Amino acid sequence: MSRQITLGAESPSMAILEHRVRVLEETVTALSKSITLLAAALDASSPAAPPEPVAAGTAHTQR
């Protein structure tokens, strides 16, 4: 609301606002796809089972 008051008669047209929304939607879609690909890549590179927790003081004897 404050932005509308500040801009007054110079506020963006409906067409400009609709264009900005479309650009934002495209950006969100691209980011979502990127996150999905990254998650799949991380999942594929992770071991099948999580490593067993190491008891305190025995880390040097493991492996």
| 6-57 pLDDT per residue, tens | 656 678 899 999 999 999 999 999 999 999 999 999 988 877 666 677 777 6
pTM value is: 0.54
- Kindly report the backbone phi and psi dihedral angles of residue 52, in degrees, each rounded to the nearest multiple of 5, phi listed first: -70, 140
CA distance 28 to 34: 10
**pLDDT on residue 9:** 67
Please check the confidence at residue 1 and state whether its pLDDT lies above 50.
no
pLDDT at 60: 58
Bigger pLDDT: 42 vs 2: 42
- What is the rounded distance in angstroms from the CA atom of residue 44 to the CA atom of residue 58? 29
Domain boundaries, the chain: 15-40
Rounded Cα gap, residues 26 and 42, in angstroms? 24
